[in-house]
Amino acid sequence: MDYKISQDNLLSLDPADSLDLSRAEFAVWERYCSVYYSQAADGFHRLAGLSVLLPEGYAPFWLKQDDRLLGGVALSDSGIRNLFTIPPFEVGPGLIKRITQAMRQMGGRELPLQALDVPEGQEDAYIRAGFWPEPYRYRWMLRPTSAYTGLPEQNIICRPVEAALDSDEPRLKLEREIGLFLFKHVYGEPEKKFGIPAGIFSGIEHHEGDNPGAAAGSFSAVLSNLRKYAGYPKSALTASCLLYDAATHALIGVCLIETAEDRIPSIYVLAVHSSYRGQGLGAKMLRYVLTLLEKTGESYLRVKVMHGHPLESLCYSCGFLPGPFFNPVMTLS
pLDDT tens-digit profile of 16-54? 447 888 999 999 998 898 888 865 455 565 555 556 678
Bigger pLDDT: 34 or 2? 34
Partners of residue 241 on adjacent β-strands: 160, 255
CA 120/CA 326 separation, integer angstroms: 6
Q: What is the pLDDT of residues 293-306, one digit of tens each?
A: 999 899 999 898 88
pTM value is: 0.78
- pLDDT digit string, tens, across residues 160-191: 888 887 777 888 999 999 999 988 877 765 44
Q: What angle do CA 279, 283, 289 make, to 5 degrees?
A: 140
The larger pLDDT score, comparing residue 136 to residue 330, is at 330
Handedness of CA 204, 207, 209, 213 (dihedral sign): negative
Residue 115 contacts residue 80 (beta carbons within 8 Å): yes
